[in-house]
Amino acid sequence: MKSLSVLALTGLMFLTGCAVDKYQAAVPAFQGTSGTGGGDELVVLLQPVFAGKPFSETVCDNTVGVSWSPEESHNIGFTQRYAKSISKNATQFAMLAALPANQRVGMSASGAAEPINIDSRIMVPVGRFIAENLKLAIGSKGQVCEDEACFQKARQERPSARFVAVQFSKFRVAEAQRNTLLIEAEGTATVNAPHAAPATVPIYNKLNRSIAAEGLFHSDFLRVMNKIANESSANLVEQIRRAGT
């Protein structure tokens, strides 16, 4: 999508110079086995990236990096010919600036001298995919919290459960090669289980796939983008689930 050479084959060259939005509803779909096994309970806290904002409303793109957007968190896709617009991204920049320095580096767009002045914006609602796939993965006996109040209430009500607090320090969405989607995530899972000392384990996944694997139309690209986002989040979810076993 940098030069959009494959997209040109779709017959949309007449749109040269115009911005073209192509998005679809995000469809989380965990393909693994649900439930933690053995009848055990697992409670996971997905700590907010931005204070007071639900993790599931976190989105990531290749222009700004990570931002909070309740509306965009339900969609996945891209905008062709994404022009430089500092004013349009002022809110996202302000959010990033407010993060701790060690976290801000991992959450900002990187890899380009001028990350806003690029041909396309590629957006993935990383929080939505992780949160929804995690719910599917841990099953009906599990619980996913997005704030500390929920987590502490679960501690009081479910003393026999295992508790995992997840903090992500890096999200990255990029087009490493032409017409590909790269999704990278990094964080830690802190585990508390009955009769065991707390333990912290790393979580990491980097996935790079072609978005042209199933066709050359926008609808093909979007379908594959959704599959890549599911594969990436499923890998992270499995790591979180394993940490809590």
pLDDT, one tens digit per residue, over 218-230 is 899 999 999 999 9
Question: Please, which pLDDT band fits residue 115 given cuts at 50, 70 and 90?
Answer: very low
H/E segment holding residue 144: strand 143-145
Q: Which of 26-35, 156-165, 220-229 has the lowest mean pLDDT?
A: 26-35
Q: What is the mean pLDDT of residues 33-45?
A: 71
Alpha helix stretches (DSSP H) within the chain: 90-98, 101-107, 126-138, 148-157, 218-243
Separation CA 238–CA 153 (nearest Å): 25
Per-residue pLDDT tens over the stretch 51-110: 999 999 999 999 889 999 999 999 999 987 655 555 556 777 787 788 887 777 788 785
Angle of CA points 117, 123, 125, to nearest 5°: 150
- Of the two residues 229 and 13, the one the predictor is more confident about is 229
Q: Where are the beta strands (DSSP E) in 38-84?
A: 42-46, 58-61, 66-68, 75-80
Separation CA 61–CA 2 (nearest Å): 14
Q: Has residue 40 got a pLDDT over 70? A: no
Separation CA 26–CA 227 (nearest Å): 10
pTM recorded for the entire structure: 0.83
63, exposed or middle or buried, with CB in 10 Å at 0-12, 13-18, 19+?
buried
Cβ pair 79, 21 in contact under 8 A: yes
Cβ pair 28, 133 in contact under 8 A: yes
Separation CA 85–CA 93 (nearest Å): 12
Cβ pair 89, 149 in contact under 8 A: no
Separation CA 140–CA 154 (nearest Å): 14
Report the residue count for the chain: 245
